[in-house]
Amino acid sequence: MQNLRLALLSCILWFSGFLQADTVRVALASNFSAPMREIARLFELESGHQVDMVVSSSGKIFAQIRYGAPFDVFLSADASKPTALVAKGLAVADSQFSYAIGRLVLWSRKAALIDNSPAILRSGQFDKLALANPLHAPYGEAAVEVLSQLGLYEALAGKIVRGENIAQTFQFIGTGNAELGFVALSQLRDSRQVEIGSQWLVPATMHSPIRQDAVLLTTSANKAAALEFMQFLQSGPIRELISASGYLLAD
């Protein structure tokens, strides 16, 4: 009889937890897709909730949210778009925080092309230079800043090919459609190509900080699963995971 009662109690507790489980809809910038897959897995194991991810450029996600896309959380590749959503009343002001600071890398699959400096850019001895569209992608904005600081943006304009986002930019270089280009350090680490080819890790002082902010959308302000996810994203182990993925951390 005691075993039967325990079994019934276990079933009740399990069913109660099942009823409380929910789905968190997270829209995120493409540069963060790799660490987010692991973060989602860990969150699902710990919380019992499910995570649905939509990966795109920050600009496109921003536009979708303005037109009522049913997301709970937005992980942008910049700080300005979450701030703009807060100003429009579409996101919760005190939920916004910087979950990562991106690092920009000039990368080529050709081992001898980049000598850990911008020398190849100054030489112009290449056909195509890939970067993410600066109108939509903060990493593209940062790449334009670097080229402008080097005094090369106008000179190289005819060689530039623009990816829709940082993921497509990485694909251009990886497939050889562009000999080199600006990508996120996290992409190289995720693809295990950080030791392949040649690269120049761009000094952070050469462009505005790529502060990547998270924000909770107003429509989900009282959604328990979304609130739990935002707290989980700020936990110590997850910050360590983000750092190991090729990002700097905000204070």
Where do the domains of the chain lie? 18-101+211-244, 104-201
d(CA 154, CA 163): 18
CA atoms within 13 A on the CB side of 134: 13
Instruction: Give the chain's mean pLDDT.
Output: 90
pLDDT digits over 87-108, tens only?
999 999 999 999 999 999 999 9
Tell me the CA distances in angstroms from 38 to 110, 123, 233, 242, one per residue in order.
30, 40, 11, 10
**pLDDT band, very low/low/confident/very high, at 117 (cuts 50, 70, 90):** very high
pLDDT over 80 (residue 40): yes
CATH number of 18-101+211-244: 3.40.190.10
Q: CA 207, CA 35: separation in Å to the nearest integer?
A: 23
Residue 221, pLDDT > 60, answer yes
% of the chain exceeding 70 in pLDDT:
90
- The CATH code of the domain at 104-201 is 3.40.190.10
pLDDT tens figures, 179-212: 999 999 988 887 766 567 899 999 999 999 999 9
Which residue is it, tokens 């992608």?
137
pTM of the model: 0.80
Distance CA 67, CA 201 (A): 37
